[in-house]
Each structure stands twice: as C-alpha cells, then as structure tokens.
Amino acid sequence: MSDSISHIPPPVSPTHGTTLRDHVLAGMRAAPGATGEFTSLLSHISLAIRIIASRVRQAGLADLLGYTGEINVQGEAVQKLDAYANEVLVNVLERSGHCGIIGSEELEGARTAGHPGKYVVLFDPLDGSSNIDLNVSIGTIFAVLRRQDATSPPSVNEALRPGRDLIAAGYALYGPSTLMVLSTGQGVHVFTMDPNVGEFFLCQSNVRCPPRGALYSVNEGNHARWSPGVQNWNAWIKGDAKDEGRPYGHRYVGSLVADAHRTLLKGGIFAYPADKKSPKGKLRLLYEANPMAFIFEQAGGAAIDGGQRILDIAPSTLHERTPLILGSTEDVEAFRAFSTGAR
C-alpha cells in the first residue's frame, strides 16, 4: 500500500510555480496604494481568455466554425467564433465592474458600462480570422488604459488616447498550447495554460526581443502595391550578402498574434505596411498595433508605422487603421531607413 502511494507523482510539477494570479498579485503588493481593482480586472481578462480557449479547442465539434451571416463594422463577414469571443469578453468585462468603457473590433462604437469603472479595455476578440476554420494559430489582443477621471460619466472619446498611455497590454495565442503574454509596464511575461488545471502558469519572465533577427514576416502578395521604399527594403532583406547576415528567412502565418509572437521571441521583423489598396495600412491602431507596440517596447524591441513610433500616434477614431512594423530594433530601423528614403 505505502509502496504504491510513494509512486504517485506529485499533483503539480515544480515548473508550475507561479500562476498568472500570483504574478499579478505580487505586482499589486509592490504598488503603494493599490486597491486590487487592476488585479481583479486582469483576472477577469484571463477568465475570458480561458473560456474562449476552451471553445476554440472544441470549435469543429460544437458547430462553431463558419460564418454567422452578419457583416461587422469593418465590412467583414463575422465568423461564429469571432462573435462568440466578443460576447465572452464583453460579458466578463461588464460583470467585472472595473470597466467604464469597452471597445472591440466587433462593436461599432465604444460601449460605456452602466457604472463608473476605472479602466478602458480595447480588444480584438479573435485575431487572424482567415485562419479560424483551418486549425491554424489565432489569438486575442487587448489593451488597458486608466480613465483620467473615473468619477465622471464614461465617454467613448476616452478610448481615443495614444498607446504611450497604456498601463497594460497582452495577447492570448491559441496554438498547440494556449499562451498569454502580458505586460503591465514592467517587462513582458509569458504564461502557458495547463488545460488540466485550467490555470495559466509563468513559463518565461522578462522576455527580451533580440536586437537583430534572421527572419522577416510580410504578406509578399502585396508587393506590387507597396511604395518604392518598401519594395527596396524587401529586395534588400532577400538579397544575398552572407557577411551581412542576408538573406533573411521568410515566415508568414497571417495571424498577427502568431507572427508577432515568433518575432518577439526570435527577433527579426513583422511588417504590414501601407499599400495602394490600404493606404492607411490594414491593422487597427487601438486594439492591434498599440498593444503589440507596448509589448515590443517593453521587451526592448520597437514598433513604427514606417516613420513614426506607433505609441505616439494620436488616434481620432476607434477603428482607425495604421501600417505596423515591429520587431528587433535594428531590423525596424533598417525598414524605417528604406521606407523614408534615407537609404
């Protein structure tokens, strides 16, 4: 009897040391005057992500693939999982009581909650729509702002602030495992969900984006529509110059979260530049570019729109688009030099 018991492995492996909650609570204890509301907000976001992850895993079995038949504010056909993920985030955040304002890719206008919550949360509930039905990695992206006056009635214009005002940003990556990457302005930390426990555990703390990489990520199908500067950058990065570390390898999943995550860990560059079809770029500033830019800068990387720092752009509308170039500082600088004609 005692022999068989001694062979039962411990329920939690030694790597399962720090949960996302432990991590956020430690940050709260270190912040004088913290009320616990921010910690609770992040716990609610993590809950929404775990619910979405569980449905993403069952999508093919639960009749959750395909389209709802509706068209969203971006003029795109809404997929069932997009709609589901949006509903989960909106419900969980509204019930948290911490959000005065919620903005989503799937909602036409920012929503004001019925109570004066302290925070503004902006999100893309399910990023990488074209990969949803293909079992290819997709994600959720979110950005958090603190309301400047939490006692006043919430106004949708409070969402229109530059990314440098963010107090937290993160993304979930629904891949072979579910990851949550989070920054509250003190470095970038990666948590992996243990599906048996239903909890995120810290697996990489203080991630740093290497100063230079060897991979580039861009939809080359848009080549003919790019400016001459971007075309020159593209020819340069593919050029054969072994002593300068070129050509770079090419990777493109087509889900921002997956392409950005690889770039964050391995270095290199992800680019969705402006082109003749999308002169303002394709990706959305407030809930795609800003949170990613915040994370990359926190990890020692960079994010620009071709010339300007993403986090300095003053937004004028909720769904505004921007070109987005992010990655290793040296690689982003090389892109800037080509696209502005300095090179």
Query: What phi and psi, each to the nearest 5 degrees, are found at residue 164?
Result: -65, -15
SS (H, E, C) 117-184: CCEEEEEEEEECHHHHHHCCCEEEEEEEEECCCCCCCCCHHHHCCCHHHCCEEEEEEECCCEEEEEEC
Q: Which is nearer to ligand FDP, 53 or 113 (CB)?
A: 53
- Residues touching ligand FDP: how many (CB under 6 A)? 12
Residue 129 binds to ligand FDP (criterion: CB under 6 A)? yes
Q: Decide: is 256 part of the binding site for ligand FDP (CB under 6 A).
A: yes
Beta carbon nearer to ligand FDP, 42 or 313: 313
User: How far is Cα 142 from Cα 145, in angstroms, rounded to an integer?
Assistant: 10
Name which of 259 and 331 has its Cβ closer to ligand FDP: 259
Q: Which is nearer to ligand FDP, 117 or 213 (CB)?
A: 213
| CA–CA distance, 105 with 126 (Å, rounded to integer) | 9
Least distance between ligand FDP and beta carbon 165 (Å): 22
Could you tell me the smallest distance in angstroms from the CB atom of residue 81 to ligand FDP? 11
Q: Which of 86, 117, 127, 159 binds ligand FDP (CB under 6 A)?
A: 127
The closest alpha carbon to 194, from 28, 43, 17, belongs to 17
Interface residue with ligand FDP, options 100, 103, 125, 128 (CB under 6 A):
128
**Is position 172 an interface residue for ligand FDP (rule: CB under 6 A)?**
no
CB of 18 to ligand FDP, least distance (A): 30
Helix or strand run (H / E) with residue 3: helix 2-6
Instruction: Name the strand (E) or helix (H) holding 191.
Output: strand 189-194
Contact map string, positions 37 to 76, toward ligand FDP, x by CB under 6 A: ----------------------------------------
Say how far apart CA 182 and CA 21 lie, in whole Å: 12
Distance CA 96, CA 113 (A): 10
Region binding ligand FDP by CB under 6 A among candidate stretches 91-99, 125-133, 165-173, 299-307 = 125-133
Nearer to ligand FDP, 24 or 173 (CB): 173
What are the backbone angles phi and psi of residue 46, rounded to the nearest 5°?
Answer: -65, -35
* Cβ-proximal residues to 244 (8 Å cutoff; 6+ apart), any chain: none
Residues in 130-159 that interact with ligand FDP by CB under 6 A? 130
Residue 86 lies near ligand FDP (rule: CB under 6 A): no
Q: Which stretch binds ligand FDP (CB under 6 A): 50-58, 143-151, 201-209, 253-261?
A: 253-261
Residue 294 token pair? 């915040």
Determine contact, residues 99/120, Cβ cutoff 8 Å.
Answer: yes
DSSP assignment of 242-292: GGGTBSPEE---S-HHHHHHHHHHH--EEEE---SS-TT-SEEIIIIIHHH
Q: Is residue 227 near ligand FDP by the rule CB under 6 A?
A: no
Of 274 and 283, the one with the shorter C-beta distance to ligand FDP is 283
Residue with tokens 């170039």: 325
Question: Residue 157 burial (CB < 10 Å; 0-12/13-18/19+)?
Answer: exposed
CB atoms within 10 A of CB 307: 12
* Closer to ligand FDP by Cβ: residue 255 or 339: 255
The answer to whether residue 219 forms part of the interface with ligand FDP (CB under 6 A) is yes
Return the range that interacts with ligand FDP (CB under 6 A); candidates 24-32, 126-134, 182-190, 327-335.
126-134
Q: Which of 175, 187, 254, 300 binds ligand FDP (CB under 6 A)?
A: 254
Q: How far is the CB of 338 from ligand FDP (least distance, A)?
A: 20
Among 46, 178, 184, 255, binds ligand FDP (CB under 6 A): 255
Q: Cα(54)–Cα(290) distance, rounded to whole angstroms?
A: 27
Instruction: List residues binding ligand FDP (CB under 6 A).
Output: 127-130, 219, 254-256, 259, 282-283, 288
